[in-house]
Amino acid sequence: MKRIIIYLLLIVAFIGCKKDDLPTRTSAGDWVLVDAQLYIKRWGNYPLERYDLFSATQNHNCLDVNGNEISLDNVYKDSTRWILPQNGGFILDSVKAYEVQSSPTFIRVYPTEDNSARIFVLDDLSDNFVRWKTSNREQALTFNGVTDNYTYFTKLIFKRKGTNDQYDLRADLESSTYKGVLPGGLISDNVFKGHTWVIYKYKQEGFNSYQYINDTLYFITNRIYHLNTTQANQDLYYSVYNMGGYYTMDINHTRFGSNISCSNLPMTAVNIGDIQNAKFKDNTIGVNGTYYYLFMKKIN
């Protein structure tokens, strides 16, 4: 009898270990967004509807149905990157560093540009693919011409960067009515792409004197720039968002830190190519956030 009990306990332990293999894998790493779907329901006796965020002719959309310009809400097919280091940080597009609270099944990323946070729940995971589900948002909004209260969330499917594997996650089990592609758009060129800028002067907050430098930034694409001629073949990353009247900007791998950001670049200054005294914050993980005032000019 004792031996039978031992065998039964071993069987139960084996079944418990095989029940869910997520803990044997990890969501840490470098991930590229390959697909996304919006699930939305109008309050009341209405069905849950599902929309694709991307198509063959649409590679940009927003996780906020109202079109919020927060960096985390703007998603780009085959371009948006999440880097989730083992030490608990979160890096967006190899550019913007965030603090993060996490467990094996969720991540809370903060602070965003409006000092809020974004919560993502692990929906499925394989060796080279991961699906994250956003927390529910409840908003009064106009959707497809109907103004009412809505609840919605998004599912984001990422592929581990560098893998050629085919999508292998389990089928999405959300019961919903498919409604087609949610209108979005293609990535439009930003005002820095194709131009060369020089950071020629800066001052660290708390100091009176200015330092004169000659750091040349070659903005190659909407996401990639090169720093100085000695690093002309090294792809570095930046991002720019039009906030209506001003821009926000993040730049990776400058002398001022692994990531610096400015939340209020005057649109007129950027357009004429002469940025004066722009306040950038060093967002390098583990530092307290030193501020620098940068002077930049467009030379090409």
Query: Each residue of 107-134: pLDDT tens digit?
Result: 998 887 777 889 999 999 999 999 999 9
Please report where in the chains the tokens 């009515």 appear, as a residue: 177
Total-model pTM: 0.67
Q: Is 176 exposed, middle or buried (0-12, 13-18, 19+ CB in 10 A)?
A: middle
Q: Helices (H), strands (E): how many in the chain?
A: 2, 21
pLDDT digits (tens, 9 = 90+) for 150-191: 999 999 999 999 888 888 888 887 899 999 999 887 767 789
| Alpha helices, H only, the chain | 2-18, 267-272
Q: How high is the pLDDT of residue 16?
A: 46
Distances (CA, A) of 142 to 12, 29, 150: 52, 37, 9
Which of 102-111, 147-156, 200-209 has the least mean pLDDT?
102-111
Q: Is 255 helix (H, G, I), strand (E, B) or coil?
A: coil
- How do residues 42-95 score in pLDDT, each as one tens digit? 999 999 999 999 999 888 888 988 776 678 888 889 889 998 875 567 888 777
Mean per-residue pLDDT for 128-143?
A: 93
Q: How far apart are CA 157 and CA 127, in angstroms?
A: 13
H or E segment and range at residue 283? none
The H or E element spanning position 116 is: none
| 15 Cβ neighbours under 8 A, 6+ residues apart | none
Q: Which of residues 85 and 224 earns the better pLDDT score? A: 224
Output the pLDDT for position 87: 57
